[in-house]
Amino acid sequence: MTEVRSKLDWGAFAPLRLKARSVADGVYAGSHKSPRKGSGVEFGGHRAYVPGDDLRYIDRHALMRHGELLIREFETETDRDLWLFVDATKSMSYAGPGAPGPKYAFAALLAAALAYIAVRTGDRVGLDFLGGKGARSIPPRSGRDAFERIALALEDVEPDGDLSGDKSLIEQALGQAQRGARRGAIQVVLTDLLDLPAGSLQALTTLTTRGRLLQVIQVLSPAERDFPFEGAVQLRSLEGKSIVETDGALSRQNYLAALAAAQRNAEQQLVPRGGRLLKCATTDAPEELVRRILSSHVEPTA
Amino acid sequence: MSFITVFALGLSLLVLAPTLAHLLRRGRPNEQPFPAAALVPVTRSTARERSRLEDRGLLLLRALMILCLALLGAGPLVRCSRVALGRSGGASVAIAIVVDDSASMRTRLSNGKTRFQRAVEGAHELLGSAREGDAVALVLAGKPARLSLAAATDLQAASRAVDELRPSDRATDLTVAIALANAALSSLPHKDKRVILLSDLAGDLPPEPSPGVWTALPELASKSDDCGVLRAEQSGPRVTAVVACSSEVAARARTLKLVSKDASAKAEARLVVQRGEQTLTLEAKAGASGTVELTGADQNPDDDRADIAPESRGLSLAVHVDVAGEAVATGGAPLLEQALHSLSYGIPVRPLAELPREATELNDVAALFIDDPPGLTPETRGVIDGWVEGGAVAALFLGARAHDTQLGASLEPFMRGAVDWEPLPAGTDVDVGSFNWLGAEADSLKQLAPKGRARLDSAILPGAEVVGRWSDGKVLVTRQERGRGLLFSVGLPVSVEVSDLPLRPAFLALLDHIVGEALRRRGPRASEAGTEWWFPASGNLQVTGSAGPLVLREADGQRVVTPETSGRYTINLNGKSEARFITLPADEVLSVPKQDLPNTWRATKGGAAPQVDASPELSWLLLGLLALEVGARFWRLVRERRAQGAIQPAPP
């Protein structure tokens, strides 16, 4: 079987499995702390009782000594679901000048590396796609076999589809995760956040309910990050019907300003709801990105 | 024109190909996929404009390259305005290039260049088409025509000689120039000999046209409208100017005005609308200096002004004879006067009743002839001595009266003291061989048999040269340089009672020689360009014209200056200053370029047409265009690389 199953040119990111393992080995292997405080063995502190708290965790000693209802909290190591959402729309097939490969390949590499790490720590990993030709969902599973399934599913997909005109397609894609993700699950969305219809970010923020964590990784090509075009060019979007005729040098500053504004807007919508936005380009080191994604799960949100 | 030429020129239609490609490309700028296109602002007009400008440069380069290729394919049959040597058999040719440097060659052509500039260009073009083994001679047709470069195969020397050519205000001397050119080629071994005439043909042509003459630049003989100031002379309170116009058009609405440092001296006169010469008078103060100028414009602005010459009487020849003794039996002027009149110099002959006692009496006298005087008084000797040193010539004919020199008189500065008169010894005749400098007429001195002779041998002054002898070796004629002047002493009088010397052709030849020397040394106050001014080899001399000092050259032991342009010249010799003027020849304005040329002059010898192989120039142009194209592409590539380099990932 060939490593690359789709028609996509994976560029420097092939073969996916080996690259993903290499990235994962470069990060670290082991457990990760859960930010959720609950039952466990390591004392994590007190907090005031609120109706609905489990009465088993009321600190009786404190009640008798101070006359206040305090709840004892514990930090615990626990297996947590990892949900991966990979944007496989047409725009993710773009590589652009100076890029080692298409954006989808880079996103798939990050997803596979994350899956490999999760599987090795005993967590369950699920996969779903936004768009994509040949895309199929992988429900959360654990075990060594889960990584193989996810890698296979990532390789089978050819970036295709246009979500720019229909918000319902986004909601439909996220629906399964919304329903099936356990409390405290970590959800990582790998997308370019381009060509998404209005209200897509709101749909993403629904993933943050029930104590679930949301990481949105914006994957851009170097050309999308720097806009290196010179002279007269006609730019055609891969989703939607946008065709723009412009002068590269003259438009660069305006484009970069518009991109920064779009990123600020995404952060403003995600952060208040407990989400995070991490920006990267396909030329960035994947080990560092994976490390940042993982470390952000144990750090308090900004 | 052959099929290949037509085909090659037809290839130039391919110039439309890049034009069409450009038009097609202009509608579609370089389209690229870009997912974030929605974030890109539209600057369509600027982008299109820039694209159009960049593409136009490349389009022009490519179109020019195609045209060059087409012309290269058609060459060397492409005709252009350059002149070149056609070769019927491929053999070497001998050419004599006759460049007309007369005043009429200053006329402007329609392209703004003068005829002379075009002629020099044509000479260079001809030299450029000459090959190794070709012989080239260079002749100048300004009067007097002269050989500038003898025939030689050194083409670089010929090119340098052409570079050194300068326009002048000389008259035209085509007849002699063509004769000189033919003479320069006559001794060459080449079979193909041609005289190439680069002239406006505004002059007399040879009566019998030479078959090998080619008028290579017929455009030089185009009709022109020109008015020129020939000369201007102060005459009392007036300035008299002579203006010549080649056509009525040239004279229309033009005036002659006085230009002087004296601001109050303003005068002008309107030209009569006519072809030919006209004399105009301007009112001016006596002694006014400056120039006269023509207003308006014509095709030769160089001759529209002239310096004003001060008033002067013309030169004359002075004769002092003893009327009683030398009168002709049939009446009329003395023999010496009649002989001078017969030489037809056009110079008045002035008889002197007495020998001059004051210097002013010899003003404007070029030569003085004294016949059989009874000695010279001290006053006369002083006057003649100073006058001769200033550049004049005096001739003394000694007879029997020289023996009877009066008290206090002598024959100086001609001879020392006095001379004796003696009967001619029997069997003595003139040594004809010593008079060879008179030319063929010297033979007429045979069997002269005079009644007597003056014995000059003992009275010869130091520095005098014996130029004629008797058969017994005694001195007959002496010649003595004195300052800028010259003194002749002849041991016979001008008297038929003593000998028939005055009736011999050699006598006229002697007078002609003396007058020629006088004119050459004295120099006319006003003359035409090309006239040689002779000066003694010694002394401090500087001749300055409007363009600065003139170059002096040595010839026959004297210094010679040849002014080339009209105007005022200042001669400074040993502290004495003298002004001379060069005037414009009327024919240089009035002569119409000859149109009825002999048929053999119209085409090159051998029938070859003036076709030019422009392949080398086209090849260089093509290479240059190619380099430009490569440079432009490289510049674009570098720019694109820079743009890409800006987004390359940083090294780990």
- Say yes or no: A173 and A115 in one domain: yes
Higher pLDDT, B212 or A202: A202
Cβ within 8 Å of A, B 51-80: 51, 54
Taking 70 as the pLDDT cut, the residues of chain B under it are 1-5, 22-30, 44-55, 75-82, 88-90, 208-211, 263-265, 286-288, 311-314, 323-331, 344-345, 523-524, 598-614, 643-652
- Say yes or no: A140 and A283 in one domain: yes
**Domain carrying residue B607:** 93-223+592-613
pLDDT digits (tens, 9 = 90+) for A239-290: 877 788 888 888 888 899 999 998 898 888 888 888 888 999 999 988 888 8
What was the pLDDT predicted at B211? 65
* Contact between chains at A194 and B640 (C-beta distance less than 8 A): no
Could you tell me the two tokens for B593? 């370029």
What was the pLDDT predicted at B647? 45
What was the pLDDT predicted at B487? 94
How many domains does chain B divide into? 5
Contact B221, B593 (CB under 8 A): yes
> Is residue A248 included in any domain, yes or no?
no
**Chain B residue numbers touching A245 (CB-CB < 8 A):** 29, 42, 44, 47-48
- Say yes or no: A18 and A87 in one domain: yes
What residue in A sits closest to B32 (Cα-Cα)? A235
Nearest residue to B150 (alpha-carbon basis) of B142, B158, B162: B158
* Contact between chains at A246 and B54 (C-beta distance less than 8 A): no
Q: What are A's interface residues with B at a Cβ cutoff of 8 A?
A: 91, 94, 96-98, 100, 192, 194-195, 222-240, 242-248, 250-251, 254-255, 258-259, 262, 283-285
> What CATH number is associated with residue A16?
3.40.50.410
> Is residue A25 included in any domain, yes or no?
yes
What was the pLDDT predicted at B606? 38
What was the pLDDT predicted at B348? 85
> Is residue B132 included in any domain, yes or no?
yes
> Is residue B583 included in any domain, yes or no?
no
What was the pLDDT predicted at B407? 74
CA distance B277 to A2: 107
> Is residue A246 included in any domain, yes or no?
no
Give the number of residues written for chain A: 302
**Domain carrying residue A150:** 11-32+79-225+269-295
- Say yes or no: B190 and B320 in one domain: no
Strands of B211-355 (E only): list them.
213-215, 227-235, 238-245, 255-259, 268-270, 276-283, 291-294, 305-309, 316-320, 349-351
What was the pLDDT predicted at A302? 34
> Is residue A158 included in any domain, yes or no?
yes
- Say yes or no: A180 and A207 in one domain: yes
For an interface test with B, the pick among A89, A164, A235, A264 (most B C-beta atoms closer than 10 Å) comes out as: A235
What was the pLDDT predicted at A81? 81
Nearest residue to A78 (alpha-carbon basis) of A30, A123, A116, A18: A123
- Say yes or no: A107 and A219 in one domain: yes
pLDDT digits (tens, 9 = 90+) for A132-174: 888 888 888 888 788 888 999 998 899 988 877 777 777 777 7
> What CATH number is associated with residue B145?
3.40.50.410
Contact B242, B215 (CB under 8 A): no
CA distance B561 to B564: 10
> Is residue A243 included in any domain, yes or no?
no
pLDDT digits (tens, 9 = 90+) for B282-324: 887 755 678 899 999 899 999 999 988 876 666 788 999 876 6
Could you tell me the two tokens for A255? 């484009």
> Is residue A231 included in any domain, yes or no?
no
- Say yes or no: A129 and A59 in one domain: no
Give the number of residues written for chain B: 652
DSSP B121: H
CA distance B467 to B551: 32
CA distance B207 to B534: 33
- Say yes or no: A18 and A165 in one domain: yes
Q: What average pLDDT does this structure show over A105-115? A: 92
DSSP B100: -
- Say yes or no: A127 and A193 in one domain: yes
φ, ψ for residue B348 (rounded to 5)?
A: -65, 145
pLDDT digits (tens, 9 = 90+) for B365-407: 889 999 988 888 889 999 999 888 888 899 999 988 877 777 7
> Is residue A239 included in any domain, yes or no?
no
Which residues contact residue B155 at a Cβ distance below 8 angstroms, ignoring those fewer than 6 apart?
B127, B130, B132, B134, B136
What was the pLDDT predicted at B55? 63
Nearest residue to B354 (alpha-carbon basis) of B343, B341, B340, B370: B370
What was the pLDDT predicted at B222? 84
What was the pLDDT predicted at A34? 47
Chain mean pLDDT for chain A: 80
**Chain A residue numbers touching B643 (CB-CB < 8 A):** 97, 228-230, 248
CA distance B227 to B244: 6
> Is residue B620 included in any domain, yes or no?
no
What was the pLDDT predicted at A297? 59
How many domains does chain A divide into? 2
- Say yes or no: B173 and B146 in one domain: yes
* Contact between chains at B46 and A250 (C-beta distance less than 8 A): yes
Strand A70-75 to strand B526-528: parallel, antiparallel, or no bridges (unpaired)? unpaired
B38 near A CB under 8 A: yes
* Contact between chains at A226 and B36 (C-beta distance less than 8 A): no
- Say yes or no: B417 and B343 in one domain: yes
